[in-house]
Amino acid sequence: MADETIFSKIIRREIPAEIVFQDELVTAFKDISPRTPTHVLIIPNSVIPTCNDISAEHEPALGRMFTVAAKIAKEQGIAEDGYRLIMNCNSHGGQEVYHIHMHLLGGKPLGPMLSV
């Protein structure tokens, strides 16, 4: 069993977070340190540490993450102007929390894809 992170406590509502969506497969909540006016994290309810650990059994949850991202983007009023979905993997990807998460970023022009 993969090690839990703080995100599992958010899923179980053991610590506070601004949850904007939750169902049996995924949870979405506002990032504690938002980089853009809209910054929501969408995560599977089961622990998948990194994108390297994704397998076919996770496809329902991963598909739901995209469906929920589109729904939240509409609800937050950023769908038409546009937004960015990002998943970081391991150290070179800048991953800090080892429970995969999709960043939904928007609410202003985001500029070039990467600044390296």
Q: What is the set of active-site residues? A: 101
The pair of three-digit structure tokens given for residue 102, joined into one six-digit string: 């999709």
Query: 26 with 42: CB under 8 angstroms?
Result: yes
Report, in Å, the least distance between residue 13 CB and ligand 5GP.
Answer: 12
- Using DSSP, state whether 59 is helix, strand or coil: helix
In the bound state with ligand 5GP, the residue whose beta carbon lies nearer, of 56 and 113, is 113
Taking the C-alpha atoms of residue 111 and residue 92, their distance in angstroms, rounded to an integer, is 21
Q: Where does this chain bind ligand 5GP (CB under 6 A)?
A: 6, 17, 29-33, 41, 88, 94-97
State the CB neighbour count (10 A cutoff) for residue 55. 7
In the bound state with ligand 5GP, the residue whose beta carbon lies nearer, of 6 and 70, is 6
Q: By Cβ distance, which residue is nearest to ligand 5GP?
A: 32
Taking the C-alpha atoms of residue 50 and residue 100, their distance in angstroms, rounded to an integer, is 5
Report, in Å, the least distance between residue 28 CB and ligand 5GP.
Answer: 10
In the bound state with ligand 5GP, the residue whose beta carbon lies nearer, of 20 and 78, is 20
